[in-house]
A and B are shown apart, each in its own frame.
Chain A
Amino acid sequence: MSEQLHYALFTGCTAKQSTPELLSSTLAVADKLGIKITILEEASCCGASHLQDFDEFLAHVLNARNICYAEKLGLTMITICNTCQLNSAMTKHALDTDPELKARVNEKLAEVGLEYKGTSEIKHFLYTLIDEYGLENVKDKVQVPLSHLNIAPFYGCHNIRPSELHEEANGHENPYKPTSLDSLIDALEGNPVNYESKNKCCGFHVELQANHTSEVLAGNALVDAIDNNADMMVTPCPLCHLKMDTYQDSVGKVMGRDVELPVLHMPQMVALALGCTEKEIGLNFHVQKAKHLYTA
């Protein structure tokens, strides 16, 4: 690559709280690959669709503010959470296509000295690795091939649907037959597990108000991966990770069988293959034991 890639990282809340391993592995991977990252320390929560349920306009204002900081740096904003990606992209799309809304939002932003212009792209880290860094280049940096692992890719809804919104940002991924994570696993020399639930919902967003629905959806996906001989699951979304990693005991009760499967964040999987340190990968932060996956 001729020019060093440089991105503005929107961490989201989970990477700063319950999944510190997501942030450390992301930074470690970027470092190994020579990608420059500037963390948007000013960025707030994206609302995760829940604030949007309460007050859509306010959510647009706050997301527009986050994007402003990437625009100030003149960089593409990258996300490491599907739901951050979706909500930021929805705000961008709404503002870029509705001048009246953009004006109303900018009127508020002006009160804190900011202006949303629409000049920064928003992309999930997964797709920058594939579309901009290139899988061939990732492959060249592999130090610990994952050939001993059957890896179930779990895509997470908000990176692949609605396809009309994501378009360029996710390389026109087909939500009915997504391939990006599979090809990343291939590049790391792992064995992608083919299973029906890979593009289904994990149930995270109704964990509190519709717990049974949430547990069954997570259970279906975990059991499907296990029955297809997965050694681990990998997801680009920390919310999918939280649902599927933290609740395996209660999910197992709902499913009527043992459910035990390590669920890794996408950057953790890459970090394993690139030979990052145990501390950077942070498998100790998982509820379902995963430390055995670190073999370097």
Chain B
Amino acid sequence: MSETRKVTIKAWRFNAETDYLPYTKEYKMEVGKDDLILDLMNRIKWEHDGSFSYRRSCRHGICGACAIKVNGKSVLACKQNAIELLDLFDNDITLEPSSKNRAVKDMIIDKSDFWDKHAAVKPYIVADIDPQPEKETKQTIAQFNALLDADLCIQCGACHYACPALEVNDAFLGPAALAAAYRFTADTRDEAKEERLQITFESGSGVWDCVKCFECAEACPKEVNPIEKIGKLHNMQFEYGVAESNVATRHAEGFLRGMKKYGYLDEADIVTYSEGYLGVYKHLGAAMKMMKSGKIHWHSGIPFIDSIPKIKNLEEVQKLIEISQTNKL
């Protein structure tokens, strides 16, 4: 039974040394049901155009070299079935590098930013280890499980180049580096927890600049779920007393202020409390417009006073906060 499909595969082409602008080329080929995106790239290079360039090595999803994007979706070329993507995108797919901005030649990108950020979080166990130990430094299953699959990362960069926060903010460490930071901070043998938590706390580069889009969780071919680790780091910064009071941490902790009073978030209070009375001026323009349209209620003179409804059985929420809160700012 023939299960091949005749399609035209598009590839994004660019040579930073010779091309002024990138262009797209089309390649007609037959795709079989077991073909991987890597097979398609090989076919382009071997049967159509020997100058087509991409990285490949292990062919079984462990070296991380062949991460590219197809129609904006991050994939590991040696793991991704081609028909599956042809079905998803109505037989119209374009092979693209993980990051067009960092393209060197076709699918090959300059990954130096990825490696610099990875190195910045001290992605190794810091411990005073005897160079000639008499016994192994063993981990229990529970201790290993606490790493939450963060150890499975193959540094392919799929999440890093899928992160929209990184596209806007060069300083942001990004999901891969932060997942690595979690992996070593959660390791009981590590002795640099506070230091690493401090690195990931910095505003501009640390976890508080994550936009919470979950693109990284979706992009990861090894199911590392980086944003889950980012969430854990947030919590650990409070647990270890690394978190200082600033606009981001007050924004997180401040949710409880409204919840204790009303059960709901107090939308006006969260802004003034997080920003502080000096910082709140930045929002006056927006606040005025919101009052004009009725988004903020002006009638009581001070936004929201007496206008926030209370939930029923508010005392339950108050009691649960009192007995369940584990962190402090």
Q: Which residues of A contact B (CB under 8 A)?
A: 13-14, 16-20, 41-45, 47-58, 61-62, 65, 108-109, 111-112, 114, 157-158, 161-164, 174-177, 196, 200-201, 203, 205-206, 208-214, 216-217, 242, 246-247, 249-250, 284-287
Contacts and interface: CB of A to CB of B under 8 A. Distances in A.
Given A54-B235, A203-B211, A16 B258 contact: no
B311 A246 contact: no
B213 A201 contact: yes
Interface stretch (B22-30, B58-66, B114-122, B319-327): B319-327
Given A42-B312, A111-B319, A249-B285, A55 B325 contact: yes
A232 to B, nearest CB: 16
Nearest to B243: A54
B164 A212 contact: no
B316 A200 contact: no
B325 A58 contact: yes
Contact of B317 (A65, A161, A205): A65
Nearest to B214: A161
Contacts of B265: 13, 45, 48
Contacts, number: 202
A17 B324 contact: no
B289 interface: yes
B307 to A, nearest CB: 8
Interface of B: 71-73, 88-89, 164-165, 168-169, 203-204, 208-215, 217-218, 225, 227, 231-232, 234-235, 238, 246-249, 251-253, 255-256, 258-259, 263-265, 267, 271, 274-275, 282, 285-286, 289-290, 292-296, 304, 308-309, 311-313, 316-317, 319-321, 323-327, 329
A284 B324 contact: no
Contacts of A164: 217
26 contacts: A13-B267, A16-B308, A18-B267, A45-B265, A47-B255, A51-B255, A51-B259, A52-B234, A55-B327, A58-B326, A65-B317, A65-B320, A109-B320, A157-B213, A161-B218, A162-B225, A200-B164, A201-B215, A206-B212, A208-B274, A209-B203, A209-B248, A209-B251, A210-B203, A212-B168, A213-B169
A157 B295 contact: no
Contacts of B217: 161-162, 164
A57 B326 CA distance: 7
A45 B255 contact: yes
Contacts of A52: 231, 234
Contacts of B275: 208
B164 A177 contact: no
Contacts of A250: 285-286
Pick the most buried of A55, A61, A216: most chain B CB atoms within 10 A of its CB: A55
A16 B168 CA distance: 33
Contact of B293 (A53, A214, A284): A284
A131 B215 CA distance: 25
Contacts of A286: 293
B208 A209 contact: yes
Contacts of B238: 54-55
A66 to B, nearest CB: 10
Given A157-B213, A174-B88, A284-B294, A56 B235 contact: yes
Contacts of A242: 295
A208 B294 contact: no
Contact of B286 (A53, A65, A216, A247): A247
A14 B324 CA distance: 25
Contact of B253 (A13, A54, A201, A217): A54
Contacts of A53: 231, 234-235, 252
Contacts of B235: 53-56
Contacts of B212: 49, 157-158, 201, 205-206
A242 B246 CA distance: 23
A208 to B, nearest CB: 5
Contacts of A212: 168-169
B320 A108 contact: yes
B319 A112 contact: yes
A17 B255 contact: no
Given A43-B311, A65-B317, A201 B218 contact: no
Nearest to B246: A209
A118 B259 CA distance: 24
Contacts of A284: 293-294
B209 A246 contact: no
A61 B320 contact: yes
Contacts of B89: 177
Nearest to B232: A56
